[in-house]
Amino acid sequence: MAGPSVAKNWSKIKNQVLHAQKNSKFTLKEVCIIGVSKLQNEDVIEEGLRSGVCHLGENYVQELVKKMDTFANQKVVWHMIGPLQSNKAKLVVGRVEMIHTLDRESLAQTISNLALQKNIKQEVFIQVNIANEDSKSGISVKEVAGFAKKIKGLEGLDIVGLMTMPPFVSNAENSRPYFSKLREIRDELNANIFLDKKLEYLSMGTSQDFEVAIDEGATHIRVGSTLFGERTK
Ligand SMILES: *Cc1c(COP(=O)(O)O)cnc(C)c1O
């Protein structure tokens, strides 16, 4: 079923990203657009891949694994962007490029151990719950430095940056304070904890506010409904 075409959406989003990047307060070498394919039909995703989408983000391990299988012969870079249970970590470590949702010590340990068994380092983002919402996962702002210190030495982890999912807003500008806060936290962690190997990335911004996120320094944006259309389930 051809709704509003994914190809068209993709090209529009790419232009918006380029524009936002050029006008950003920060010099961003590259902004990675992750197409969030959770709960989307395979034909819609297929159209995205044909149009040039190559990073896909999934929230649920079962669905991720199934789609990895479906699209096994295509060039897809996978991202885990949903809450991850420790007992399912073995299904994603070493198979996704980045896990965006590291939010507790036990999970950090599990991911690190699994990565070491595979002789790799797993790229991870620390998820920060900037607005302290009960409904959201992530380390609180108060605890993030302590958490970072504890997991910094885990040899199977390559901690690449911070991720956040701010509250739903009706006006994109309302997300700005959360995005700038995440950037400030990253810079503080780099000044105090990650002295030798800096956290480079910020995974922030979705369909509702990715341009504002880029203005505030996002390096990875996660765009679902604006690219693939409304989710089916
Ligand atoms: C679903 C989801 C997205 C995409 O949201 P859209 O509003 O469809 O762009 C991004 N990030 C996370 C963590 C998500 O769960």
Per-residue pLDDT of the chain (233 residues; tens, 9 = 90+): 455 699 999 999 999 999 999 999 899 889 999 999 999 999 999 999 999 999 999 999 999 999 999 999 999 999 999 999 999 999 999 999 999 999 999 999 999 999 999 999 999 999 999 999 998 999 999 999 999 999 999 999 999 999 999 999 899 999 999 999 999 999 999 999 999 999 999 999 999 999 999 999 999 999 999 999 999 76
Residues 6+ away with beta carbon under 8 Å from 75: 54
Atom nearest to 34 CA in ligand 1: 10
Is 159 within the bounds of a domain?
yes
Q: What is the pLDDT at residue 232? A: 75
Determine the Cα–Cα distance for residues 166 and 176; give it in Å rounded to an integer: 10
To the question of pTM greater than 0.75 for the whole model, the response is yes
Q: Contact 214/24 with Cβ under 8 angstroms? A: yes
List ligand 1's pocket residues with C-beta within 6 A: 36, 38, 59, 81-82, 165, 206-208, 222-226
Cα 222 to averaged position of ligand 1 atoms, centre (Å): 6
Residue of the nearest CA to atom 10 in ligand 1? 222
Cβ-based burial of 24 (10 A; exposed 0-12, middle 13-18, buried ≥19): middle
Is 180 within the bounds of a domain?
yes
Its domain, for residue 212, covers 2-228
Atom nearest to 100 CA in ligand 1: 13
Is 140 within the bounds of a domain?
yes
Is 233 within the bounds of a domain?
no
Coil, helix or strand for 232? coil
Is 72 within the bounds of a domain?
yes
Is 41 within the bounds of a domain?
yes
Q: What is the pLDDT at residue 4? A: 60
Is 190 within the bounds of a domain?
yes
Q: Which of 6, 81, 135, 204 to mutate to test the pocket of ligand 1 (most atoms within 8 A of CB)?
A: 81
Cα 147 to averaged position of ligand 1 atoms, centre (Å): 25
Is 168 within the bounds of a domain?
yes
Q: Which of 10, 36, 162, 212 to mutate to test the pocket of ligand 1 (most atoms within 8 A of CB)?
A: 36
Q: Contact 57/98 with Cβ under 8 angstroms? A: no
Amino acid 196 reads D
Cα 117 to averaged position of ligand 1 atoms, centre (Å): 31
| CATH for 214 | 3.20.20.10
Cα 81 to averaged position of ligand 1 atoms, centre (Å): 8
Per the structure, how many domains does the chain have? 1
